[in-house]
Amino acid sequence: MPPDAAAASAAPAAPGDILLDVKRFEVAGANPLSDAETAAALAPYLGTHRSLGTLEAGAAALEARLREGGYSFHRVIIPAQKPTDGVVKLEILQFPLAAVEVTGNQHFSADNIQRSLPGLVTGSSPDVRAVSRDLGLANEHPAKRVSIVLKESTKADALDAEIRVRDTAPELFFASLTGNTRDAYNDLNQTTGYTRLTLGYQNSNLFDLDHAVDPFLHDLARSSGQRQAVRRVLLDSAVWLRDQPEPLLHPLGSQHRRHRTLRCFRVQCHRQRRVHGRAPDLFAAEVRADHAKRLAGFG
């Protein structure tokens, strides 16, 4: 600190004296807010200041606005300076991630878990609201649950993130037998039979990319002696598209945040055949592509 600045800070202004007339704040450092947001937060602190405390209140107001925007790991300080022409300098310091560690995962790779949370990037300060959205979306997966612990790093002015995982095997087999499905009016199941046997398989992490496949066999037995076999294959492929440059459903101020879209492709095939051969073979295929609504919230 320069001697004259140190002397000025050590000697408080006498009651009634004007310490400084602030005409403009100059903000240095990594400021994630827009110029308009920054100016709006600091506008009440322009003008006459009679103590250093009112200047510090301006820095605290800007820091509070950063926290509201999800930037909880940014700090605003007043560096040592000698103001000229009514310009006061503020500096924004950020605490970046030094390391990201994945623990507790048994069935999913560390790369898979980190892909689920793209907001945790080493070298940058985490956006709490974006990470919260990523966390909610990752926990929609049927076979894994994740949580995040942020802690002080061994490196100075930095953070470490620990991703704690509880997961189960993404592969499973299932079977079901249903009988006596006669309805009250006997008009729904009389042509398909009253006994149903289902055998199926599910894999919710194909290629370690969280894709899902769900094939199953569904057999119906008819009480009239005729048999109808229905084979249905349902293929669900959940594709996570990251970093799409479109605004969220709820944009943060005037800034557009990147998001991920869930896209599902479904293919259904049916084959119906009667043993007596009176009904011709019928094959119907339907292909549908559905765009699920983007998940917002968490913040």
Assess whether pLDDT exceeds 80 at residue 232: no
When mean pLDDT is compared across 3-17, 195-209, 222-236, the lowest value belongs to 222-236
Assess whether pLDDT exceeds 50 at residue 10: no
What pLDDT is stored for residue 196 in this prediction? 77
pTM greater than the 0.75 cutoff: no
CB-based contacts of 293: which residues, under 8 Å, 6+ apart?
A: 249
Higher pLDDT, 25 or 241: 25
Assess whether pLDDT exceeds 90 at residue 8: no
What are the pLDDT digits (tens) for 45-86? 999 988 889 999 999 999 999 999 989 999 999 999 998 899
* Helix ranges restricted to H, the chain: 3-10, 35-42, 52-68, 110-115, 128-138
Average pLDDT score over residue span 226-247: 38
Higher pLDDT, 251 or 119: 119
Give percent of the chain above pLDDT 90: 49
Higher pLDDT, 186 or 162: 162
* Phi, psi for 230 (deg, rounded to 5): -120, 120
Query: Taking every pair of C-alpha atoms in the chain, what is the biggest distance, in angstroms?
Result: 107
Assess whether pLDDT exceeds 70 at residue 270: no
Mean pLDDT of the chain, nearest integer: 73
Assess whether pLDDT exceeds 50 at residue 287: no
Average pLDDT score over residue span 29-52: 92
Assess whether pLDDT exceeds 90 at residue 101: yes
**At CA 174, angle to CA 172 and CA 177, rounded to 5?**
175
Assess whether pLDDT exceeds 60 at residue 235: no
What are the pLDDT digits (tens) for 113-157? 999 999 999 999 999 999 999 999 999 999 999 999 999 999 988
Q: How confident is the model at residue 191 (pLDDT cuts 50, 70, 90)?
A: low
Distances (CA, A) of 41 to 44, 81, 230: 7, 21, 65
Contact 141, 113 (CB under 8 A): no
Average pLDDT score over residue span 197-221: 86
CB-based contacts of 251: which residues, under 8 Å, 6+ apart?
A: 257
199 CA to centre of own chain = 35
Average pLDDT score over residue span 217-221: 68
Q: How many residues does the chain have?
A: 299
